[in-house]
Structure 1
């Protein structure tokens, strides 16, 4: 990029830099003053201090040979808003003002360090996220992978600057598609959005009148159908409603009920906020997902086995209910094995909060469960006074032996973690027919667990169905190691993309995304309305 091709706002920056640098006369005393100022300014940061010690306090931004780095930084900062980053933390204008403020070698040393600090903040935000979600929301257990600041500066100082800045953003196709959707929604916001909303009240095929016209107009504005003067709920309108329902995780019956109309009336601004949060979450996840991995999107109520970026298998899921002790957490781990005909070791929280009150009333309650003492011996219920125990001093373990009625069903998939979360079968299949499926104690139930197991086993046995059935038919608990362990990513995305088709939107079932956008706004992220 030549000087003439730079954005207009960036040209004064480069010119200002040149003037500031020209003022730095290379006399010995002034060089010493510069280095002393760098050392003093960097002393408040271990990363900066260590980096400048390794360079003998030489400049990487403000020297006469550093023009390419300054220009590359300016160019990178021009796309801050496109990434949904807080431009108040770093901008070309801020760089220009810093350089203009340098009136002496000492000033230039201070500016040198401030530019490095600004670079580190920008690089961190773009590479691994603006926020640390673990500090904001209890259910987020995914701590961003922050690169060491000294290593970041060393790598940058030894790299071609333009290429280095291009390397910072996530490489995933998902991130690129989310960026494109962000730009589309910004243009829509600038054009006034989707117009008037749809009045409340169920609408279905055969209806006609003003409400149907409002529904049609909304779907036309959203791109789900072409313009039409019809006032009736005809087949074309029904197909458009079904397409919208599919894109929003709703039952695709072609009837505009309460949930569908509520989703239709969500404004462009809210959808834009969801996309910005999704981009932030994508930065947290990083680029190393695993060539073959399991992806569970809590809000989408589905589990997928991904291979080379494609969906190899997909099944409906049930996730944790929206209560403080049941919400499914977000984290990544490694699936090591599956257990066929599993025993259910009842978590202590369930044992004491749900089953102990039953046992106090009737020691023979929940007779399908085994109660054992610390030695593993079966407890004699008839001679045990359960009323003397509480959630604090309950001394027993409760287990459910393998069976078709077992709460875990006939197979569970284990990625041992401190949250005690895993994927499993269930004997209760009716919940999978619901639109919203947040009913579990936190673990993830699968609608098609056998097929899920077959797909995993297909990499290590020629006939996974036969292999699985042989072990299932024994009725005994059997652990089957995965010869090649599989990464598991439990995520929470209310906006996500497909390789083809429209961006998908889901309900913020736990309210996490709303909190994250508030935090991003507080950090300085703003919504843009782009007018063409």
Structure 2
């Protein structure tokens, strides 16, 4: 397939003959290239795209692709190669219409034809470059809670960079994200595609729960599935023995499940996901990687909502990791996705109850019982505390409730004893919590949107380590005062709240997680409508 594409690309007789005949040439004959017919055709074809038209005006309509000589030929070759491999990146191949471009090049008969082809090649290049560099989709139009601004590079920049490049092929190869994550996702994509062509992982496991010591056909199906997935060596055992239990535990670790070695409902649901469904997750993850900022920060915090985790990374190496609780999967409580910079910590924080929580949750309680939620205090517009007995709660509703509600610092504070602030318009931050038992759950979506940390003190020590000789001692000296204290970070730390149902590790298997908010399902459907396909047989 690839060989045929290249033969067509570099053996277009009509285009080559036009070039050889001097209808399009370079050097002293540049005036021929800029003939009225060619210029008019380029101007006409580019007119509907302001940036593209601007590029050609600024370059006096000099051809990028249809000039004679090795430079333009190298650009054509690089473009054809990139477009023929667009599917490797999970892109909508039909959008770039390589076959149509080849047909038009083969049918060229005049300078006007070449002018139109010139712009068609530029349009295909720009469509591909923007898709592979910053994504096929506009995130917030697919999922409202994805608060990422993805800005396409201007045509003048993309084409200008290509024109200035000494090696066009390398210039196009530099367009996709140059991250280890993206490279490993591409590798997983190719592995799954090969696996699907070979028949996938075989039959699903027909059971709701399997435990060590059991036998029968369902256990055999479990055994075979684990062998096909690479978690278990080939075996003739028909019993759920120690080897199968260990394999199940390893599978559970790779899928964010409780590692009890029992194939319960959640484990079997993950096991029975097809290779094609996993491939969809990988393609979506590649699109999401294209949305994320190229410069993550030498040190940064990565919160993966589907993994219920928060990590600190230095030079892409894991420095610290802790479990997290995320926003509940209802209404406006789902945690948004965005990036910002952590600026300070608040030790012994006061909880300023968000108005939405105050009027939706606490005002109804206080109407029923004025002394409800006694750990909270009311304050008027002047910042003075108002006694509960002085308030007729029945006179207020969500629109006219005039009080601010706060919880003073304490070990019972809803924010715990420390919060990590990256000021943003979504009022999202990381924080401690007194509800420690929630971290033992497999699925941890319980908050109003903020991210709760299981090990907030250890997280704080690591965040403070670049500026404190003994971060633990410093932290506890402030904590011991009992007073709300702001600790500024000398160097801000980028925070990226992401959502990945497929993500990689430097060592080990690719990790998969449940689509807790069904965001990846929406993204896959949007990609499918845009023309992305698995291009393989479902397993």
Question: TM-score by structure 1 length?
Answer: 0.96
Q: Which of residues 339, 350, 365 is equivalent to 1:332?
A: 339
Q: C-alpha offsets along residues 69-109 of structure 1, whole Å, 9 cap, x if unaligned?
A: 10111122222111111101115323212312433222211
Report what 1:422 is aligned to: 429
Worse-matched range after superposition: 425-434 or 142-151? 142-151
Q: How does 1:427-446 map to 2 (within 5 A)?
A: 427-446=434-453
Q: Is the 8 A contact 1:13 1:93 kept in 2?
A: no
1:60 corresponding residue in structure 2? 64
1:28-74 CA distance string (max 9 Å, x none): 59821100111121111111011001110111111113111101111
What displacement does 1:300 show? 0.1
Where in structure 1 are there 5+ consecutive unaligned residues? none
Shift of 1:226: 0.9
Distance in 2, matches of 1:428 and 1:530, equals: 46
Count of residues in Structure 1 that have an aligned counterpart in Structure 2: 527
Structure 1 residues 476 and 214: alpha-carbon distance in aligned structure 2, compared to 1, 3 A threshold? same
State the partner residue of 2:126. Answer: 120
Task: State whether residues 13 and 92 of structure 1, in contact with CA within 8 Å, keep that contact through their aligned partners in structure 2.
Answer: no
Shift of 1:211: 1.2
Is 1:192 aligned to residue 199 of structure 2?
A: yes
Are the structure 2 counterparts of residues 157 and 369 from structure 1 closer, same or farther at C-alpha, using a change threshold of 3 Å? same
Give yes or no for contact 1:20–1:99 (8 Å, CA) kept in 2: no
Q: Match for residue 16 of structure 2?
A: 18
Partner of 1:515 in structure 2? 522
- 8 Å contact 2:285–2:502 — kept in the other structure? yes
Query: Residues 408-456 of structure 1: CA distance to partner in whole angstroms, max 9, x if unpaired?
Result: 0000000000010000000010000001101100000000000000001
Is the 2:313–2:319 contact (alpha carbons within 8 Å) kept by the matching residues of 1?
A: yes
85 and 131 in structure 1: CA distance in 2 versus 1, 3 angstrom threshold: same
Task: Indicate the SS of the match to 2:397.
Answer: coil
| Conservation of the 8 A alpha-carbon contact between 1:128 and 1:286 | no
Corresponding position: 1:258 with 2:254: no
Alpha-carbon distance in 1 for matches of 2:431, 2:19: 65
Question: By how many angstroms is 1:287 displaced?
Answer: 2.2
Matches within 5 A, 1:312-331: 312-331=319-338
Q: Deviations over 1:352-385 (max 9, x none)?
A: 1000101111222112111111111112322222
Q: Contact 2:252 / 2:258 at 8 angstroms: preserved in 1?
A: yes
Q: Does 1:85 align with 2:95?
A: no
Once the two structures are TM-superposed, the CA of residue 22 in structure 1 deviates from its matched residue by 4.9
Single out whichever of 399-408 and 375-384 deviates more from structure 2.
Answer: 375-384
* 8 Å Cα contact 1:127/1:169 also seen in 2: yes
Matched residues in 1 for 2:213 and 2:147: separation? 49
The answer as to 2:391 corresponding to 1:384 is: yes
In structure 2, do the counterparts of structure 1 residues 101 and 124 end up closer, same or farther at CA, with 3 Å as the change threshold?
A: same
Q: Could you say which residue in structure 2 is the equivalent of 1:447?
A: 454
8 A contact 2:33–2:62 mirrored in 1: no
Shifted more, 10-19 versus 119-128: the winner is: 10-19
CA distance in 2, matches of 1:310, 1:98: 49
After TM superposition, what 4+ stretches of structure 1 lie above 4 angstroms from structure 2? 26-30
CA contact 2:101–2:120 (8 Å) conserved in 1:
no
Once the two structures are overlaid, the 10-residue window that deviates more, 282-291 or 464-473, is 282-291
- In 2, Cα distance between the equivalents of 1:530 and 1:19? 42
Counterpart secondary structure, 1:312: strand
2:496 corresponding residue in structure 1: 489
- Aligned partner of 1:143 among 140, 144, 149: 149
Q: Deviations over 1:135-164 (max 9, x none)?
A: 111110012132122111111111121110
Task: Single out whichever of 26-35 and 371-380 deviates more from structure 2.
Answer: 26-35
Contact 2:248 2:263 in 1 (8 A): yes
Kept in 1, the 8 Å contact 2:254–2:512? The answer is: yes
Q: Which moved more, 1:26-35 or 1:303-312?
A: 26-35
Give me the CA root mean square deviation.
Answer: 1.6
Residues 1:47 and 2:51 are matched in the alignment? yes
TM-score calculated relative to the size of structure 2 = 0.95
| Comparing 18-27 and 485-494, the one that deviates more | 18-27
Q: Map of 1:113-512 to 2, 5 A cutoff?
A: 113-159=119-165, 160-512=167-519
Q: What is the Cα deviation at residue 124 of structure 1?
A: 0.5
What is the alpha-carbon distance in structure 2 between the residues aligned to residue 22 and residue 387 of structure 1?
Answer: 89
Question: Do 1:239 and 1:254's aligned partners in 2 also have CA atoms closer than 8 Å?
Answer: yes
Distance 1:194 1:416 in 2: 46
Equivalent residues of 1:203, 1:255 under 8 A apart: yes
SS of aligned partner of 1:7: helix
Structure 1 residue 25: Cα displacement: 2.7
Deviates more, 1:313-322 or 1:281-290: 281-290
The residue number in structure 2 matching 1:38 is 42
Q: Where in structure 2 are there 5+ consecutive unaligned residues?
A: 25-30
Whole-Å separation in 1 of the counterparts to 2:359 and 2:168: 59
Mapped partners of 1:277, 1:467: distance in 2: 43
- Partner Cα separation in structure 2 for residue 399 and residue 24 of structure 1: 80
Q: What SS does structure 2 have at the residue aligned with 1:490?
A: strand
Taking structure 1 as reference, are residues 267 and 114 closer, same or farther at Cα in structure 2, changes over 3 Å only?
same
SS at match of 1:184: helix
The more displaced of 71-80 and 453-462 is 71-80
Secondary structure at the aligned position of 2:382 is classed as: coil
Whether the aligned pair in 2 keeps the contact of 1:30 and 1:105 (CA below 8 Å) is no
Return the alpha-carbon distance in structure 1 between the equivalents of residues 394 and 108 of structure 2.
76
Q: CA deviation at 1:490?
A: 0.2
- Which string of whole-angstrom CA distances, capped at 9 and with x for unpartnered residues, describes residues 310-331 of structure 1? 1100000000000121000000
Task: Output the CA distance in 2 between the equivalents of 1:496 and 1:165.
Answer: 25
Q: Which moved more, 1:178-187 or 1:382-391?
A: 382-391
Contact 1:20 1:100 in 2 (8 A): no
